[in-house]
Amino acid sequence: MRIFLFSQKITIENANYINLFIDELFNYKVELFVLESLYKYANTKIFFPKNINVINKISKKNKIDFLICFGGDGTMLKAVHLIGKLNIPITGINTGRLGFLANIPKKNIKDLIIALYKKKFHISARTLIQISTSPKLKKGLLNFALNEVSISEKNHLSMISINTYVNNEFLNTYWGDGLIVSTPTGSTAHSLSCGGPIVMPDSNNFIITPISSHNLNVRPLVLSDNNVIKIDLDQRFKSFNLSVDGQTQTITNKNVVFIKQASFKINFLITEKNNYFDTLRNKLLWGLDKRNNEQRL
């Protein structure tokens, strides 16, 4: 079994759980891989085994079986963009905050390793958004998104209008602070905070969600991800923020943005103890009644 270990920020707590994970791996035949940047950065806090494989980047020749993240959802998004088209199953141990993507509790580290070894898991293939612009932007912008693509006015000071088309047919002019196009995986991220619906990960949809819509009768729209979405920007403003999974680049009113389904998917590793419904209930506090904890007089 070949496991790639990934994390971004190494806090004392984070390092403790990574060390626990590494200790548990000694009971199994595992080859451990880590990025050279993390190895150098965390070498004094994490007790890496002597036979660890230190690499510059993940490639097909490494034959990685699983990628395990330690951190929050931001760490998971970073890891997703590291593996790209390699089809490596990925999961995350939540040492961050909310943890919709990195949804395995720290207490379940040992259970996760056993599940990997005994192959007691299933794969949830997550659709991605592919982003392009005309004219093309300089290199640096991520060209696919697991969660969402959002557009807003650069200085966040003015209401903007965004003309939106589906398969070249006019859909709507959105007036407000901006617009989000998300995947089902991203439906519990920025889109949810703007009033968007929660959509099951295997639903094969896009969700178009306005940000602070000026028209109160305009609501989020769910449509098939077989469609191509085109976005024309407000000509009154020169600069806009185009954010792809939280990575932002400046675009101008001359850029037209195209959004469609990517040609590949990201494989999420789901264990029996950490399914999607468990995550929704735990993270959104569904069914929690504050009165149950109040002392009755």
Tell me the catalytic residues: 73
**HEC string of the chain?**
CEEEEEECCCCHHHHHHHHHHHHHHCCCCCEEEEEHHHHHHHCCCCCCCCCCEEECCCCHHHCCCEEEEEECHHHHHHHHHHHHHHCCCEEEEECCCCCCCCCECHHHHHHHHHHHHHCCEEEEEECCEEEEEECCCCCCCCCEECCEEEEEECCCCCCEEEEEEECCEEEEEEEECEEEEECCHHHHCHHHHCCCCCCCCCCCEEEEEEECCCCCCCCCEEEECCCCEEEEECCCCCEEEEEECCEEEEEECCCEEEEEECCCCEEEEEECCCCHHHHHHHHHCCCCCHHHHCCCC
